[in-house]
Structure 1
Amino acid sequence: MSSTKDKVTGNANEAIGKVKEGIGKATDNPRLEGEGLAQQIKGKGQQLKGDVKDAIKRRVDKT
């Protein structure tokens, strides 16, 4: 996966996770709320992966 694709997927997972968390809170559903939090963490990890790929590419391009 390219760094851009990782970042886009990460942003989507964070957004969906926030919605799930909000619905879980509104409906008093702790399972859905937890799924939302987990999906947000997954999204942040994907974004970090994209950032690392970008940093490595910049470093390689300098040499």
Structure 2
Amino acid sequence: MGLGDKIKNKAQEVSGKIKEGVGDATDNEDLQAEGVKDQAAASAKQAGEHVKDAAKDVKDDLNK
């Protein structure tokens, strides 16, 4: 996973947590749900990147 991707994913996750918190504090269910959705999307992207990293590591190990 590239550093840029890691930063973007973490920023999306943090943004989601903020939206969720503000939504909870203001009783705004739409904003709270949007925050949860953003966090889930960031987590899915991070999981995909981890799979790609693991596959690259296996490939590199086989080529040694």
Secondary structure, aligned partner of 1:48: helix
> Where in structure 1 do 4 or more consecutive aligned residues deviate above 6 Å?
none
| 8 Å CA contact retained: 1:10, 1:45 | no
C-alpha separation between the residues in 2 aligned to 1:6 and 1:46?
9
Q: Tell me the TM-score normalised to structure 2 length.
A: 0.86
C-alpha separation between the residues in 1 aligned to 2:8 and 2:44?
10
C-alpha separation between the residues in 2 aligned to 1:9 and 1:56?
22
Give the number of equivalent residue pairs: 61
Q: Which runs of 5+ in 2 are unaligned?
A: none
Is it true that 1:59 corresponds to 2:42 in the alignment?
no
Root-mean-square deviation over aligned CA pairs: 1.1
Q: How far 1:11 moved relative to its partner?
A: 1.2
Q: Tell me the TM-score normalised to structure 1 length.
A: 0.87
Secondary structure, aligned partner of 2:31: helix
C-alpha separation between the residues in 2 aligned to 1:50 and 1:62?
18
Q: Find the counterpart in structure 2 of residue 43 from structure 1.
A: 42
